[in-house]
């Protein structure tokens, strides 16, 4: 079983994650298949603003960023009834993005969504990797924001991110 330990979480609170958890289909229907230019611009501005709150030593550059290669929805606790990740109706669009920054001595994951976010498991080239939360916030107006730092080296990072109270997680594959 592979998992990370959030420095703010006790061992009793750790979710059990099966790295071979079955993939499930998303039942959410999207009205647009590609984000609009305005959405992309909004996500970029939001991401830059959040990174200004995190002291990484050196400024993060665009060439340090790696976009996700694959995304899957997985059951983190098969056999339990899944709570869907619900979003608020109407209102302004909240930024949605996932990205990874590979810096000299650390790997920094950044994500935004309409729900609260947390990393529940990660592995780097098949080995469990731990990390720490650098920034985490959620509000009804702004949505969820997360910046998480991992230590280690490798060529592939797999991260399981939970949204809200869902029993499902989004599994993200990054080629470094």
What are the residue boundaries of the structural domains of the chain, listed by start?
37-85+96-175
- The pLDDT, as a whole number, for residue 95 is 92
**Total Cβ atoms within 10 A of residue 49:** 11
Residue 123 above 60 pLDDT? yes
Please give the pLDDT value at position 35: 81
Instruction: Retrieve residue 12's tokens.
Output: 């009793």
| H runs (alpha helix) in 11-121 | 37-51
Q: Which fold has domain 37-85+96-175?
A: Immunoglobulin-like (2.60.40)
Tokens of 35: 């984000």
CA distance 35 to 38: 8
Query: Cβ distance 76 to 15 under 8 Å?
Result: yes
Q: Quote the mean pLDDT of the chain.
A: 80
Of 22-31, 65-74, 92-101, 130-139, give the lowest mean pLDDT range.
Answer: 22-31
Distance of CA 98 to the CA centre of its chain: 6
pTM for this structure? 0.78
Q: What's residue 99's pLDDT?
A: 94
DSSP state of 94: P
Residue 115 contacts residue 162 (beta carbons within 8 Å): no
Q: How confident is the model at residue 100 (pLDDT cuts 50, 70, 90)?
A: very high
Classify residue 37 by burial, with Cβ atoms within 10 Å: 0-12, 13-18, 19+: exposed
Distance CA 95, CA 143 (A): 8
Q: How confident is the model at residue 16 (pLDDT cuts 50, 70, 90)?
A: very low
pLDDT above 90 (res 5) = no
Q: Is the pLDDT of residue 89 over 60?
A: no
Per-residue pLDDT, 155: 93
Q: Contact, 119 vs 148, CB < 8 A?
A: yes
Separation between Cα atoms, residue 141 and residue 143, nearest integer Å: 6
Residue 30 has what pLDDT? 53
Number of H helices, E strands in the chain: 1, 11
Stretch 109-136: mean pLDDT: 93
Residues facing residue 144 across a β-bridge: 113, 138
């Amino acid at each position: 079983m592979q998992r990370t330990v959030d420095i703010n979480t006790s061992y009793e609170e750790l979710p059990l994650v099966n790295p071979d958890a079955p993939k499930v289909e998303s039942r959410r229907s999207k009205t647009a298949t590609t984000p609009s230019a305005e959405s992309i611009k909004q996500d970029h501005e939001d991401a830059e603003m959040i990174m200004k709150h995190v002291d990484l030593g050196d400024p993060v550059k665009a060439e340090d960023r790696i976009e996700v290669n694959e995304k899957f929805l997985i059951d983190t606790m098969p056999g339990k009834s899944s709570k869907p990740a619900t979003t608020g109706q109407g209102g302004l669009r909240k930024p949605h993005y996932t990205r990874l920054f590979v810096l000299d001595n650390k790997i920094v994951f950044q994500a935004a969504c309409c729900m609260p976010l947390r990393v529940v498991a990660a592995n780097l080239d098949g080995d469990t990797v731990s990390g720490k939360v650098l920034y985490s916030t959620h509000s009804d107006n702004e949505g969820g924001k997360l910046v998480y730092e991992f230590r280690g080296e490798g060529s592939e990072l797999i991260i399981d991110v939970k949204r809200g109270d869902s029993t499902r997680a989004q599994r993200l594959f990054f080629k470094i």
